[in-house]
Amino acid sequence: MALMQAGQDTNAGAGQDPVREDGPRQAGGADTGAVDLGDGVWQLAVPFPNPLKATLVYAMESPGGLILVDAGWDGEQSWAGLTSAVEATGHAMADIEGVVLTHFHPDHTGLCGRVREASGAWIAMHDSDFHTFDLMTGSRDAAWLDEQTANLRAAGASEEDLAAFREGSEMTPPTTRASRPDRLLADDEKIPLAGRTLRTVWTPGHTPGHVCFALDSADMVFTGDHVLQKTTPHVGNFVFPLEERDALDEFMQSQRRIAAMGITRAFGAHGTPIADLAGRSAQLLAHHEERLDDLCRDLENGALTLWQIAARMQWYRPWNELPVMGKQMALSEAAAHLRYLVGDGRVVQLPASDPVRFAIAGGA
């Protein structure tokens, strides 16, 4: 998921219109959500109740039937969408041999349990996301809510903001343990397909265990939420004190890695295809460098809380109009940028400040 746009859509309209004779072909009618991308790859649009509208799942034939890249959100409309899209490719849900996951987020993992129940498929995820999946599906009780509230208070949230968070918190985990993966993926692992392989490329940043999947027989890589055409993938970690993990540094290093692979075409989990992967990665890197510079300028006039910093940053709508979950994601992303700047030596976290404040290094 992303909070704002970065750069221009350099691939507007390219290779995405299912009615063009020279573009991908829609299968089984306009409402099936299945598009033949060529090279033996199908794109399956699984409805997602979010402004992003759909999670794009990719299907390829394997020795045992079909391999899916991701599965989609857990919901009846999503399940119906995935089922009809798979059938439009000429297969049945029972034909699915396995699901390889780009990362643990619920719009990617939610339907894994139902896919496994329908087909006996195995589910695979990178080791670095496996533990986080268990945390996501764990209990959301009063202790969980107290922990989240304490974190927001340390960030500088007002009592009014804290009350709104408590009232708007979703206590039901977005995905159940039924979707828990049963296999672990390693970097550079090869997943057998029909006459070829799909190779994992570990790209931490959006999540610790995010992976992309490169198709060995084609100039094609499935980028999950690591590289998207029109929006910037969310990069965040929001726990006080700031986590040891530098999510933004991971993300930027991963962008450089994927851009250096020499693959031109990329297909993300949301939005339109990417015709120039290296160019899009360069846009995303420039976007984050600009945000880091802006954040430093905001701190030149004095120390700020995380809440104050996030309120000054640009999001998909004005800060005061963001819903509770939107503000949480914004705070998480602001924290990731601060963590990068602290590691870079440009910003310091002021000791014993309550709420926690940050200042330009040497100017505190």
pTM of the model: 0.88
- Tell me if 168 sits within 8 A of 152, measured CB to CB: no
The answer to whether residue 92 sits within a structural domain is: yes
Q: Of 22-36, 235-249, 281-295, give the lowest mean pLDDT range.
A: 22-36
**CATH code: domain of residue 31:** 3.60.15.10
Q: In the prediction, which pLDDT does 19 show? A: 23
The answer to whether residue 359 sits within a structural domain is: no
Q: In the prediction, which pLDDT does 316 show? A: 86
Pairing of strands 96-100, 122-126: parallel
Angle, CA of 79, 172 and 142, to the nearest 5°: 170
Q: What is the pLDDT of residues 136-168, one digit of tens each?
A: 777 788 888 888 899 899 999 999 999 988 887
φ/ψ bin of 271: left (φ > 0), alpha (ψ from -120 to 50), beta (otherwise)? left
| Close Cβ partners of 337 (under 8 Å, ≥ 6 residues apart) | 248, 288, 291, 292, 295
Backbone angles phi, psi at 122, to 5 degrees: -85, 155
End-to-end Cα spacing for the chain: 35
Q: In the prediction, which pLDDT does 65 show? A: 95
Backbone angles phi, psi at 132, to 5 degrees: -65, -35
Tell whether the model's pLDDT for residue 238 goes beyond 80: no
Backbone angles phi, psi at 133, to 5 degrees: -60, -45
| Close Cβ partners of 276 (under 8 Å, ≥ 6 residues apart) | 10, 11, 264
Q: In the prediction, which pLDDT does 237 show? A: 81
Q: What is the pLDDT averaged over residues 110-114?
A: 96
Tell whether the model's pLDDT for residue 9 goes beyond 70: no
The answer to whether residue 89 sits within a structural domain is: yes
- Band of the pLDDT at 32, cuts 50, 70, 90? low
Q: In the prediction, which pLDDT does 240 show? A: 66
φ/ψ bin of 258: left (φ > 0), alpha (ψ from -120 to 50), beta (otherwise)? alpha
SS3 84: helix
Tokens of 218: 């084609």
Q: Between 277-299 and 324-344, two packed helices, what is the crossing angle to 10 degrees? A: 80
The answer to whether residue 288 sits within a structural domain is: yes
Q: What is the pLDDT of residues 11-31, one digit of tens each?
A: 222 222 222 223 344 443 334
Tell whether the model's pLDDT for residue 331 goes beyond 50: yes
The CA–CA distances, whole Å, from 93 to 90, 179, 316 equal 10, 16, 37
- Measured in residues, the chain has a length of 364
The answer to whether residue 114 sits within a structural domain is: yes
Structural domain span for residue 118:
25-138+173-300
The answer to whether residue 193 sits within a structural domain is: yes
The answer to whether residue 10 sits within a structural domain is: no
Tally the domains of the chain.
Answer: 1
Q: What is the pLDDT of residues 46-89, one digit of tens each?
A: 999 888 899 999 999 999 999 999 999 999 999 999 999 999 99
Q: What is the pLDDT averaged over residues 106-115?
A: 96
Element (H, E) at 222: strand 220-224
Q: What is the DSSP string of 61-73?
A: EETTEEEEE----
Measure the CA dihedral 295/285/323/208, to 10°: -110
- Band of the pLDDT at 241, cuts 50, 70, 90? low
For the chain, what percent of residues have pLDDT higher than 70? Answer: 90
| Mean pLDDT over the full length of the chain | 88
Tokens of 5: 């746009």
The answer to whether residue 51 sits within a structural domain is: yes
Tokens of 111: 């339907």
DSSP 8-class letter at 137: T
